Chain A
């Protein structure tokens, strides 16, 4: 079956620190991979995505590379800001089925 495993949180960092949130997946076929962000009291916002192996998704200073050999899609940012505090979800879409499978989420808190 299809599943996503994220590193457990919560994660607390100081402003300007380097961020990595690990994500690994299990899937049949060739899924698309996503990172979504959920700010307090809001719905999910698409942060970035990658649709095939070795693709790099990027947005707002965040990056993630689709690694088929390690079935991973780790989220990174070089210098985090207080405004990055949110819950981050890794997700996959099995072969464009638009039936997203989410990880459990990682709560990130950035202290000034």
Chain B
């Protein structure tokens, strides 16, 4: 049983560019959440998707957007990248308000 998978593993972009990160939830899970983990910090909640709709959102600007597909996989999009967007982006999945399982993350570096 595959756990939560994320792609790509690492990504390097320049300021002003746009990026798309992808997440496949654990089998049987229907809810996907995204977190940003800056170096040396704890993860911060970005938003959560359920039934292809954004259900909750943290304190992140509109440059951060997402999508959930009918197969429950999800994308995180970040527009107009800033240096401060450099971080590890974690995807977590769950089912019916049960515990979240985290993926290994995508390391984004903005130059």
Task: List residues of A whose CB falls within 8 A of some B CB.
Answer: 4, 36, 41-46, 49, 89, 91, 96-105
Contacts and interface: CB of A to CB of B under 8 A. Distances in A.
Contact of A43 (B40, B44, B90, B94): B90
A109 to B, nearest CB: 15
A101 B44 CA distance: 7
Contacts, number: 52
B2 interface: no
Interface of B: 4, 31, 33, 35, 40-45, 48, 56, 58, 90, 92, 94, 97, 99-105
B45 to A, nearest CB: 5
Given A99-B58, A102-B42, A42 B31 contact: no
Given A99-B33, A99-B48, 17 more contacts: A4-B42, A43-B90, A43-B103, A44-B90, A45-B102, A46-B99, A49-B99, A96-B97, A98-B48, A98-B97, A99-B45, A99-B58, A100-B43, A102-B43, A102-B44, A103-B42, A104-B42
